[in-house]
Amino acid sequence: MDVRGSLSRFAQGVGIPRLLIGLFLVFLFVVAYIQKLPMAMLLNGALVRTAMNGILVLAMVPTIQAGVGLNFGLPVGVVCGLVGALLAMEHNLRGFTGFGTALAIGIPLAAVAGLLYGQLLNRVKGQEMMVGTYVGFSVVAGMSVFWLLGPFRNPEMIWVVGGSGLRYTLTLSNHYGHVLNQALNFRLLGVLIPGGLVLFYLSFCLLMAVFLRTRVGMAMSAAGSNPAFAAASGISVDNMRLLAVVLSTVLGAVGIVVYAQSFGFLQLYVAPMFMAFPSVAAILIGGASTRRASVLNVIVGALLFHTMLATALPVTRTLMEGDISEVARIIVSNGMILYALTRGRGGN
């Protein structure tokens, strides 16, 4: 009866950003259908992109919940994951052994780095996002010196000329490239589903959802939503924030290894510098704010954002020259972050 009222209720329930991006996706798929693009391939590409980036998006949940905010310092975890991935490659480990070793080295490294980074963030409450951004940037720049001087000897990894220093991009195809992507694949209605990759991603989501419902997880969220109340009920707010930063950093390390094996390459030097921004944008698109986030926000946001990125390029390419999807990515992701930062209360 009251069509307009229920429509506006629907729009409010779903949220304007998700509605707009959802409509844009529908538009993209309609154009793709008209242009006779292979739909099964588009959908497969979207799923792969979502799942390979998903854990990096998930890394935002603990810090937001604990009141640390959007973790712009994600590159701290990413470089730890890269060190693990490089060591596995240096010793010529292949397949799941290589992938597992990369994680086994990357995770403890990230835990230690996260502990230090978290200590720092506890001392700069209120400015975590800005400090985190620049800690991330400087870690990436500092590690660039390490990539040049580090004791890597594998000829597949270092420059041919000069005999030292890691290359900008390392190919993983002889090592553990696509191990997850090629595991447990199946077809559903003609679409190739990357079973292993999706399963790996969703199991991390499930773990996070379960963790948030445990006693510790709830204490962590309490420390974020009302620090004074949490402290009064005997929760150590600083320790909870520390735990959140460690979790986020570890997820950053796991996330980059999963990303790299799916991409097929390890990207070094300045490549990890802006790794945090798409993840921040994705979780915000999923409906999170700078103070509240859930696993559902991750799943929805990663799916919408990365499906858009995966389909926009092939679709717009049929319509016009040049890569407008890259520009759309910059505008949409930063516009989303800007929207989240300017929403709600001002002041400290």
Partner 1 sequence: MALSRQPAARRIQSDVLGIVRQNAVPLLFLALGLAGVLATGMNPYFLANETINRLARNSFLVLSLLIPVTAGLGLNFGIVLGAMAGQAALIAVTHWRIPGLSGLGLALALCTPLAVGLGWFAGMILNRAKGREMITSMILGFFMNGVYQLVFLFLVGTAIPMRNPAMLLTQGVGLRNTQDLELIRWSLDRLVYWRVSGFSFPVLTLLAGAALCAVLMFLARTKLGQDFRAVGQDMHVAEVAGINVDRTRIIAVIISTTLAAWGQVIFLQNIGTLNTYNSHEQVGMFAIAALLVGGATVARATVANALVGTFLFHLLFIVSPFAGQRLLGQPQVGEYFRVFVAYGVIAVALGLHAWQKRQQVLRALARDKLAAAEVSGD
Classified as helix, coil or strand, 193 is strand
Scanning residues 98 to 127, which ones bind partner 1 (CB under 8 A)?
120, 123-127
Beta carbons of 258 and 55 less than 8 angstroms apart: yes
Residue 90: half-sphere exposure toward Cβ, Cα within 13 Å: 17
What phi, psi does 121 have (nearest 5°)?
-65, -30
Neighbour tally for 181: CB within 10 Å: 22
Q: Which stretch binds partner 1 (CB under 8 A): 35-43, 182-190, 302-310, 332-340?
A: 332-340
Residue 346 touching partner 1 (CB under 8 A): yes
335 binds partner 1 (CB under 8 A): yes
Span 145-164, contacts to partner 1 by CB under 8 A: 145, 148-149
Nearer to partner 1, 189 or 232 (CB): 232
For residues 272 to 291, the per-residue mask of contacts with partner 1, x marking binding by CB under 8 A and - elsewhere, is: -----x--------------
* 181 part of the interface to partner 1, by CB under 8 A: no
141 is a site residue for partner 1 (CB under 8 A): yes
165, 195, 264, 314: which one binds partner 1 (CB under 8 A):
165
State which of residues 51, 131, 247, 304 lies at the interface with partner 1 (CB under 8 A): 131
Radius of gyration of the chain (CA): 21
Query: Any contact of residue 327 with partner 1 (CB under 8 A)?
Result: yes
Assess 265 for contact with partner 1 (CB under 8 A): no
Q: Is 72 near partner 1 (CB under 8 A)?
A: yes
Please, what is the angle between helix 128-149 and helix 75-90, to 10°? 20
- Rounded CA-CA distance 215/251 in Å is 21
DSSP one-letter string for 212-259: HHSHHHHHHHHHHH-HHHHHHTT--HHHHHHHHHHHHHHHHHHHHHHH
Nearer to partner 1, 37 or 148 (CB): 148
- The region of 34-42, 177-185, 192-200, 333-341 touching partner 1 under the rule CB under 8 A is 333-341
Query: Are the CB atoms for 184 and 195 separated by under 8 Å?
Result: yes
CB of residue 272 to partner 1, shortest distance in Å? 13
